[in-house]
Amino acid sequence: MVMKQIRSYLIAKSYDYAMYSTEKRCLQSWRKELLAQAGGDLLEIGAGTGVNLPHYPDKVKQITLSEPDGQMRRRLQRKTDHFQQKQLSITPWGVDTIEMPDASFDTIVSTLVLCSVPNLKTSLSEIQRLLKPEGILIFLEHVISDHPTTRIWQHRIEPIWGFCAGNCHLTRDTAAAIRATGLQIEQLIEAPMVGTPAFVQRTIRGIARKAVPLAGAV
Ligand SMILES: C[S@@+](CC[C@H](N)C(=O)[O-])C[C@H]1O[C@@H](n2cnc3c(N)ncnc32)[C@H](O)[C@@H]1O
């Protein structure tokens, strides 16, 4: 328990500093371009220290930030003090425990979070439930490598990496999991995350949409 709290404190304290160079070299511009497509009622899962906040366009009406980690949430709270022009709330929900009715959101945002959730399939089902018909999931995630040698290393180091980096998994095929949930991927860009080790370099980003239910479908 104490170990977990120390780890959580250290990760939250060092997160922005550790990501600074990668943010400048690629993530910031990816976030800006992706989040320009957000709108309406928005849920961001695993909002971390709030790095996406400056990129939300005016067409986003209401923002719900979910962040289960108390240390991250403290930092998030500080950042949101500068964004009072939007209707904004912070919750301690994990993605599997979002206390909102079905079809609550037009946009759900997940950036570098689906690697850390305990069960990818359950989390994506929950995202699917929470989206309105035609609503979109905006995602930016690091995924399993397409290089056989890197894959072998990803499998080897995943347990220790997960322990040090807040349950982060290295071997998830997140695009396949999104499709398996029934969300339709409309945009998919693959690119290496600059300035990171090979085992977290391969990323996917894009948009997946929830289909409108067919008339008469149960
Ligand atoms: C690598 S950080 C990403 C933070 C931020 N989204 C970003 O783009 O920089 C992963 C975040 O996911 C959060 N997280 C971990 N498990 C989660 C869960 N089950 N549901 C929601 N968020 C979770 C962590 O607390 C952490 O803030």
**Is-above-0.75 flag for pTM?**
yes
pLDDT at 204 (0 to 100)? 98
Tell me the pLDDT tens digit for each residue of 166-211: 999 999 999 999 999 999 999 999 999 999 999 999 999 999 999 9
Count of alpha carbons within 13 Å of 202, Cβ hemisphere only?
A: 17
Which residues lie with the beta carbon below 6 Å from any ligand 1 atom? 45-48, 51, 66-69, 72, 94-96, 111-113, 116-117, 166
Q: What is the pLDDT of residue 85?
A: 66
Residue with CA closest to ligand 1 atom 1: 112
What pLDDT is attached to residue 1?
A: 75
Atom of ligand 1 nearest to the CA of 118: 19
Instruction: Kindly report the CATH number that applies to the domain delimited by 2-209.
Output: 3.40.50.150
Return the ligand 1 atom nearest residue 110 CA.
6
DSSP string, 98-164: ----SS-EEEEEEES-TTTSS-HHHHHHHHHHHEEEEEEEEEEEE---SSHHHHHHHHHHHHHHHHH
- In this prediction, residue 217 carries a pLDDT of 62
Q: What is the DSSP letter of 211?
A: P
Residues of the chain with pLDDT below 70 are: 84-85, 216-218
Q: What pLDDT sits at residue 218?
A: 54
Tell which atom from ligand 1 comes closest to the C-alpha of 112: 3
Q: Which of 96, 113, 172 to mutate to test the pocket of ligand 1 (most atoms within 8 A of CB)?
A: 113
Nearest alpha carbon, ligand 1 atom 27: 48
CA 202 to chain centre: 15
40 C-alpha to ligand 1 centroid (Å): 22
The answer to whether residues 133 and 103 touch, using CB atoms and an 8 Å cutoff, is yes
**Ligand 1: which of 29, 116, 124, 200 to mutate, most ligand atoms within 8 Å of CB?**
116
Region of residue 186 (phi > 0: left; psi between -120 and 50: alpha; otherwise: beta): alpha
Most distant CA pair in the chain, distance: 53
Polymer length of the chain: 218
